[in-house]
Structure formats: structure tokens, C-alpha cells
Structure 1
């Protein structure tokens, strides 16, 4: 069996943001990769970790 999938509520809690903020990240394409299964939105934990790593900075203002 594959990796366990997470609901938006779980990911938002893990990231310390609201579910609405996570939805805005999806809408803007700036958040972690997600899976759309019918009407459900799911996340792979590995995608969340990859997104965090890709957004890690050592100084402010750096892209």
C-alpha cells in the first residue's frame, strides 16, 4: 500500500495555518502539491515536506 494521505485539516494544523489559508495556497498554486479525488482534496505528507524544503530560506528577501 502507498503513502498515507492527509486531509486539508491535518495539513493546515501541521503547518500552523487555517484551512482557508491552505485553500488559498491551492487556488494560487503556491502551496504543496495535492490530489483531487472527486470533490475531496488530499495531500501526500512527502509533498508537504518537499514544499517546506523548497520554501526554506537562509535570509529574508531572497527568492
Structure 2
């Protein structure tokens, strides 16, 4: 595996994030619009979530 592809970030779509978290896609959209959700990037009209940032955000919501 070369260094360019080996270190490339993995991005999720809104639908993939919703499926992973078992919430409706609309919930992920609401989180993004109200800025309470995980960090995201916009590539033109496309919204993507970096895997590492997503899991960091999830861990930051742990209680107990």
C-alpha cells in the first residue's frame, strides 16, 4: 500500500452516519444545520463526515 492511499481519510455520507448511529437521516441533517453534530466537510453540494472526526465526536458524548 502506498503512502498516498494508506493515509487517505475515510469519509461517510449523511446516510451512512445515520445508519451507523441508528438515527434518521433527518436527525443528522438537523444536527448539521444547528451545529450540534459531528464536524463535516462540504465538497460542492456534497456533505461528508471524516471517520476519525466522527468517532472523536461520538466519544465526546459519552456519559457515565
Quickly name the TM-score band, shorter chain normalised. Answer: 0.7 to 0.9
The runs of 4+ residues in structure 1 deviating greater than 2 Å are none
Q: Distance in 2 between matches of 1:41 and 1:21?
A: 14
Q: Distance in 1 between matches of 2:61 and 2:33?
A: 18
Aligned residues: 58
- Given candidates 30, 38, 46, the residue that maps to 2:44 is 38
Two-structure CA RMSD over aligned residues (Å):
0.8
Unaligned runs of 5+ in 1: 59-63
Unaligned runs of 5+ in 2: none
Query: When the two structures are superposed, what TM-score results if normalisation uses the length of structure 1?
Result: 0.86
Query: When the two structures are superposed, what TM-score results if normalisation uses the length of structure 2?
Result: 0.85
